[in-house]
Structure 1
Amino acid sequence: MPPAPLVTSIDVSGWTAAWADGTPPTFDPAGNPQSVYVLRAGFGATGAATTHLDTLIVTRRLREPWPDQATWTAGTVVLSDYVYATDTIAGVTNNSTESSPKPVANWGTTDRQVVGDRLVGEIIAGHRDARDGKPVACVVVTVTDGTTTVSQTVSAMAISLRPGDKCPVLVYPYDIDISSLNVGQVTKNAKVYPWVGDAASVLDSSAGTANSREFCPQVFTHDPVLAANPPLAYISSSGNDGTGVVSTSASTAKAAPFATVTGALNKLRSTYTYTDGCRIRIMDAATVANPTYNPTWQSGAALIIERDPDVPRASAVLTFGAANVNMSQTWLVVRDLTVARAGVYGLNVATGGRLILRDVDMDNASHNSALIAANSLYIDGGVTITNPASNVLNAGSAEIRMVRGLTYGANGRTDPIEGWLVAGCDLKGVLLANGARGQSGMIVVCNAIRGVGGTNGVFSIGTTADVNGALIANNLIEWTTTSSSPAYRPSSDNGTGNITHLLDWHNTIVGYGNTARSNILYNETVGTLRAHKLCSSIGSIHTQINTKHDVFCGGRGDVDASSKTGGWPYMLGVGCRGTVALFVDAGGGTFAQEYPGEKALIGASATVMADVRFTDNKAVTGAGAGAGDGAYTLEAGSAAFDRISAGHAVLPFDLAGVTRRNDGTGAAGAYERAA
């Protein structure tokens, strides 16, 4: 017969339970784990409903709130993770009202393109119930012309093969045969299935608002003939707008180039019904101007400005910024050329339109103004911006919807970049900020952020508004200045936002002492009760971890201190595993988690770093500012090794593309050691 259950009931919160046998003992979750076996409704690798058997651990007894924090509750114990309302435990009453949240996901590639008979793209996704190096069970992608629908199921996360990424980006890739669909507009959607949950836990892009930055339907033009033979117009400094020719023959169009972008664009519009998929090729140099525009001249796909394939990228230069001009396209792709900024004005498109930069070398010339105004910008890989300035990519009237594969910045700077979807970038001296826009659904993954010199957090979320879902994973943050400031601030000091389903996975944040510290999921704001739940903190290396709740508030005399329990799941290590903190908390132990989670390592000193053995630490140290551009892979004997239990890996690869271990020896931080 199976052993009697250790608990009699699961509480409403989902993370506490009633001990079954008298007074709970002193628990030793590492040396003598007390297990609770949970049968969980969920999904498998095809998206079909199934059940999973998981093991949760009783980690400790639950104490009373301030001022009775030295007293244990009568018989309540804390679990290592949540039990959902849809879970079953044999012989145990499940009173949990918590549900498995929807995954955090978004498209990793852009739409509004003309495509042939194959539709290729990527999804970035995560969920708190990741297992065996797989963040979600699967994604099911569908494409329809309104009559016929084709689909593909992808269950394996992989390193993206797109060449423009500066760091390996982990994605769910798909490649769908759409030859059976009618020529014309097609719509793509996807469902993202978590391992654990029910139908309400499945994220469906079709429920999103079309043409928004959120996970929503994407639109393409299916036209194999147009994709293979796009109308072309060439621009040359020796061209002539009066005699320029547009043609699907490259040799014909190149023999009679235009003198200006406006001349080429107007000729394309007068020759073809739409500019969808048309390409303007720059032979040497061109300047953005104000062409005539009628929105009916684009039916759903982007115009492309690119270099003449016969000239090197450095020789094909598109200049903008000297005057307030507008390309007047609803969808515009600028790719595979050099962009030169000659003034403070933006590279603008039509109202409500979007600009996509791909494989572009841009000299910003230190002009401190937004790259695009009142529209949306996608940086879609292979983009380098030199001579930066503070407001180029800051969150403003324009939405910076994607920043992927960007090289940008300089050591010691504090340039803000809108941190909505940031992936595969090599950044220096930047902070991620969302301005007035919400942060629910944000994704920041697989980035190297070095030479940070700011006095504000590189990640600051939940400051004034609630956040429901955020994926922050496989990132390196190297702090180089001596400013005693936090680097990582999910709902920290004096904030008012509640955070649900934060995924903090395998980040490495390197500073010294309380410089570049992490202030995580506080509940200490005077007069405000915050509640943080369903968060997952696995395998990250933090410089220092601080969290403040009822005891901190009681110590300073807050009248509502006894109610400051909404952040207790994190304080008690629920959903936490394999965390490393390089230094002791700023309170010398009083701001620490009461239980940091399975296989955690928390530094014991304010001045001596835990023995993680970075390859070449060039962050700030006790001796002063750091030089930057260090190497944060882990050397033999690192204390960051052996932090992830067997079967509990949440990502398949690290920031260098090395396979993460799932055998019980996996490392904390952005880098796994090589096999």
Structure 2
Amino acid sequence: MALRLGLGYGRRRSVAGGGPAPVPLIASVNAEGWSAEYAVPGDLPAFVTTLPSEMGPDGGSPKTVSVMRAGYDATGATAAYAESRIITKRKRQVYPNYTLATTATVALDDYVYSTDVIAGVTNNSTETSPKPIAAWVMPSRQLVGNSVHWELIAFHRDFRSNRQVACVRVRANDGTTQTAWQTVAATVISTLCEDANPVEAYAGDLDVSALATGAFWLEAEVYPWIGGAASVLKSEDLWAASASPREFTRRYFHRDTALAAAPPLAYVKNGGSDSTGVWSTNAATALATPFATVAGATSAITNATRGTASKTGTGARIRLVDNTASNSGTNGTSFPQGGAGIVIERAPGTARADAVMNFAGSLRLGLTCSVAGLEPHMTFYDVSLGRSVNTQKFYGESGTPIGLQFWNARITDTAGGQYQQNGNGYFFGVVFTNTIHWLGAGTGTQIRITRGVTADLNTTQIEPWIVIGSNLSRISAASATDPTKGVIYYANRFLLMNAYGPALAISAGAIGDVMTGIVFVQNLAEIIGGHANGAPGLRISSDNQFGDTVHTIVAHNTITGCSGTGRSNLFYDEGATTNNRRKHRLMRCVGNIHAQLNTKADIYVGGGLGMTDEAPNRTGQLAYSHGVGSEGEFSISCSADSSSTGGGFSPLYPGRRASLGTSLSVNNDPLFVDNKSMTSATDYGTGGGDYHLQGGSPARNRVLARGLAFDLGGAARPTSGLDASGAYT
């Protein structure tokens, strides 16, 4: 139904019996969705022809357009939301006339979707609300009884009411029977694993008592605040599309109440025997006849007299009694499992530090899985692992990789080199000593989630798919095995970053690639320096990279440093050739503290690269350059060309309530409580600072759009008024 919304601006016309009615400020929304044609060009105020000015006074009463938007509520039911799009400024012309405004085209503060309705205005937008970006963040492939715990995180550019999405719903399915949907709208601080930083998640405990004994899966749907049916993210759609287990698709478990109550047990301890050790569902019996090694225990599980042949490996638990050695070998027989994998855990009464599985050589257990499409799994829970020789590895079978889950574990590796072959890693609450190559992508392997990890990377790489709740020191460049799948960096502290290499680099890999779904939310990057004008702290499609980006959320990050060191290089459309033009759409940049804020497009190409003929084609970041989707941005230094706005390296307009540095030498100081990051070209930091904001910080009171309930320290974010920029409220 069309709405008659009085806007209070523009010329008026008479309506019979109703007096003058408002003429909408805009006549039409353009196809790109973020610009519009002003309804009465002759009424454009004179001051908007000066490009840096806004249509309305910042913080006052800007000119707005009322929009009715289709979406969803906290139950997953359809809803409609009234919002206001703010007219921020005239859209500029492209190079070489970039200092001039267009005749009547104005930029909006954010996108109008094709499903939005503006009374009296023609909506030509071709943009639609994207699907949320989500991930399961709990261990799976577990043996359960009548209940299963689940957790996921979700993000969307149209966040509101201190939540990223309206709701999520989850159900269990055994292929014949499905549970009722469990709908969750509020987030909680998770206690599932030993996170290094609080992780805000959607979570629930689902009753699965109606399901049959055997394997089942969880499936989920994520409902954005704004969007139609095509904007709902469904895990089953990804499963049908044969998505990788790394993506937001099914997560499997195994239900067996009897087996969960009395799983097959084997104990491993010094002095045990692989030839006489016994599996038993009775803990005392198993403890009385322990094995010497994990490999020996797995080899014996199907033994007619010492194993539990009818149980196979589904949910089997190997308990470490002490600091065991000689854990190596190859199983000569298949070690099958169903929906749940084997668990290696500490024995009751043994401290985690004393329950250690040391490698003596490579461990090849011959694991297989009877559930079609699933890789076999091992979970190391509440134990320690030790590795000292580069050739000591976990081996999966060719064509049947092994899934390795480490949950509340401690890992010491003095060897270096890849620790697995034909395997994929999942980390939940892990503390590393000398972690080299455990978190980085390797040949034929993936690191599918890095949650709650504490590690000194010593300038080695991580695989940046799902990195949450972690403290990672001395991180180097990130490298993904599939850069088109998007990434999630959330609730991390990246410490002691020495800026000798690009630390958090995100880019599509080749010409024509489209990277969909980039999340960089509520992280701290502590840049201590290493040399003047060092590497960026954050790169999202920057210098000489390729491919487009769609749906990027950069919110509430604190990136320290100054001048060029630790800078943010965002949404570039440049390059020395004509075949790598890029287009960036549906970005949302809210409440970040940057060391420096840089972007490049037509102005830079015409000036910095001197490609004047090509420059007018480099307009793929104009939405970002006009502040679309941006709010409360703060930078310590000005951009690389000594400009706050409108230069070849800087956005024309950084969004409402922004504060960008105006100097490369005098900092726009956010007043951290204890700043131990780099503060000048010659003043390197020592690290270990406190990056909460002092009471009088100029980074406070800048963010109206609220998408998180908690900050990086777990403190509640405000539910009204203006929030602070940065990771801490």
TM class by shorter chain equals over 0.9
Residue 495, structure 1, aligned to residue 548, structure 2: no
Pick aligned residue for 1:627 from 675, 680, 686: 686
Residue 36, structure 1, aligned to residue 65, structure 2: yes
Residue 256, structure 1, aligned to residue 289, structure 2: yes
Q: Look up the match of 1:428.
A: 473
Deviation at 1:294, TM superposition (A): 4.9
Mapping for residues 483-632 of structure 1, pairs under 5 Å: 483=531, 484-526=534-576, 527=578, 528-555=580-607, 556-558=609-611, 559-589=613-643, 590=647, 591-622=649-680, 623-632=682-691
Amino acid at match of 1:348: Y
SS of 1:139's partner is strand
Amino acid at match of 1:187: W
Cα gap change, 1:627 to 1:211, in 2 (>3 Å):
same
Residue 669, structure 1, aligned to residue 726, structure 2: yes
Cα gap change, 1:62 to 1:355, in 2 (>3 Å):
same
Q: Look up the match of 1:403.
A: 450
Q: Look up the match of 2:380.
A: 334
* Native 8 Å contact 1:542 1:581 kept in 2: yes
Residue 636, structure 1, aligned to residue 695, structure 2: yes
Per mean C-alpha deviation after superposition, the further-off stretch among 91-100 and 423-432 is 423-432
SS of 2:410's partner is strand
Residue 361, structure 1, aligned to residue 425, structure 2: no
Amino acid at match of 1:276: T
Mapping for residues 279-318 of structure 1, pairs under 5 Å: 279-284=317-322, 285-292=324-331, 294-295=333-334, 297-318=336-357
SS of 1:504's partner is strand
* Native 8 Å contact 2:477 2:501 kept in 1: no
Question: Counterparts of 1:620 and 1:310 in 2: how far apart (Å)?
Answer: 47
SS of 2:380's partner is strand
1:261-295 Cα deviation digits (max 9, x unpaired): 23221222232332111111111114322242555
Question: Counterparts of 1:642 and 1:552 in 2: how far apart (Å)?
Answer: 33
Deviation at 1:372, TM superposition (A): 1.9
Q: Look up the match of 1:7.
A: 26
TM-score by length of 2: 0.89
Question: Counterparts of 2:64 and 2:413 in 1: how far apart (Å)?
Answer: 58
1:445-497 Cα deviation digits (max 9, x unpaired): 00111001242322211253431111111110011123311111100111112
* Native 8 Å contact 1:105 1:441 kept in 2: no
Question: Counterparts of 1:181 and 1:203 in 2: how far apart (Å)?
Answer: 25
* Native 8 Å contact 1:506 1:669 kept in 2: yes
SS of 2:274's partner is coil
Q: Look up the match of 1:272.
A: 309
Question: Counterparts of 1:311 and 1:89 in 2: how far apart (Å)?
Answer: 66
Residue 343, structure 1, aligned to residue 343, structure 2: no
Q: Look up the match of 2:710.
A: 653
Q: Look up the match of 1:232.
A: 265
SS of 2:461's partner is strand
SS of 1:225's partner is helix
Amino acid at match of 1:525: G
SS of 1:562's partner is helix
Amino acid at match of 2:712: L
Deviation at 1:241, TM superposition (A): 2.4
Q: Look up the match of 2:126.
A: 97
Deviation at 1:439, TM superposition (A): 4.3
Question: Counterparts of 1:269 and 1:167 in 2: how far apart (Å)?
Answer: 42
Deviation at 1:161, TM superposition (A): 1.9
Residue 384, structure 1, aligned to residue 431, structure 2: yes
* Native 8 Å contact 1:439 1:461 kept in 2: no
Cα gap change, 1:148 to 1:205, in 2 (>3 Å):
same
Question: Counterparts of 1:237 and 1:392 in 2: how far apart (Å)?
Answer: 27
SS of 1:173's partner is strand
Question: Counterparts of 2:252 and 2:508 in 1: how far apart (Å)?
Answer: 34
Question: Counterparts of 1:354 and 1:257 in 2: how far apart (Å)?
Answer: 26
SS of 1:415's partner is coil
SS of 2:395's partner is coil
Deviation at 1:374, TM superposition (A): 2.7
SS of 2:295's partner is helix
* Native 8 Å contact 2:327 2:361 kept in 1: no
Question: Counterparts of 2:701 and 2:552 in 1: how far apart (Å)?
Answer: 24
Amino acid at match of 2:618: K
Deviation at 1:551, TM superposition (A): 1.3
Pick aligned residue for 2:167 from 138, 143, 149: 138
Q: Look up the match of 1:480.
A: 528
Aligned residues: 664
Q: Look up the match of 2:362.
A: 324
1:548-594 Cα deviation digits (max 9, x unpaired): 11111122421211111111011110000111111111111122211
Cα gap change, 1:166 to 1:201, in 2 (>3 Å):
same
Residue 74, structure 1, aligned to residue 74, structure 2: no
Question: Counterparts of 2:720 and 2:435 in 1: how far apart (Å)?
Answer: 44
* Native 8 Å contact 1:290 1:328 kept in 2: no
Amino acid at match of 1:385: F
1:192-234 Cα deviation digits (max 9, x unpaired): 1101111111111112236620101111101122112111011
Amino acid at match of 1:336: D
Cα gap change, 1:432 to 1:336, in 2 (>3 Å):
farther
Per mean C-alpha deviation after superposition, the further-off stretch among 284-293 and 19-28 is 284-293
Cα gap change, 1:243 to 1:294, in 2 (>3 Å):
closer
SS of 1:570's partner is helix
Ranges in structure 2 where 5+ consecutive residues have no aligned partner: 8-21, 49-54, 368-375
Q: Look up the match of 2:215.
A: 185
SS of 1:290's partner is strand
Amino acid at match of 1:222: R
Pick aligned residue for 1:457 from 472, 479, 502: 502
1:344-396 Cα deviation digits (max 9, x unpaired): 1323344322001111111111x221222232100122x1111233x332212
Amino acid at match of 1:634: L
Once superposed, which parts of structure 1, at least 4 consecutive aligned residues long, lie more than 4 Å away? 293-296
Per mean C-alpha deviation after superposition, the further-off stretch among 591-600 and 291-300 is 291-300
* Native 8 Å contact 2:93 2:102 kept in 1: yes
TM-score by length of 1: 0.96
* Native 8 Å contact 2:331 2:364 kept in 1: no
Deviation at 1:44, TM superposition (A): 0.8
SS of 2:287's partner is helix
SS of 2:259's partner is helix
Amino acid at match of 1:358: W
1:168-191 Cα deviation digits (max 9, x unpaired): 011111211111111111121001
Cα gap change, 1:76 to 1:211, in 2 (>3 Å):
closer
SS of 1:17's partner is strand
**CA RMSD in angstroms, aligned pairs only:** 1.6
Residue 371, structure 1, aligned to residue 400, structure 2: no
SS of 1:53's partner is strand
Question: Counterparts of 2:168 and 2:652 in 1: how far apart (Å)?
Answer: 37
* Native 8 Å contact 1:461 1:467 kept in 2: no
Question: Counterparts of 1:448 and 1:292 in 2: how far apart (Å)?
Answer: 41
Ranges in structure 1 where 5+ consecutive residues have no aligned partner: none
1:646-666 Cα deviation digits (max 9, x unpaired): xx2111111001111232230
SS of 2:552's partner is strand
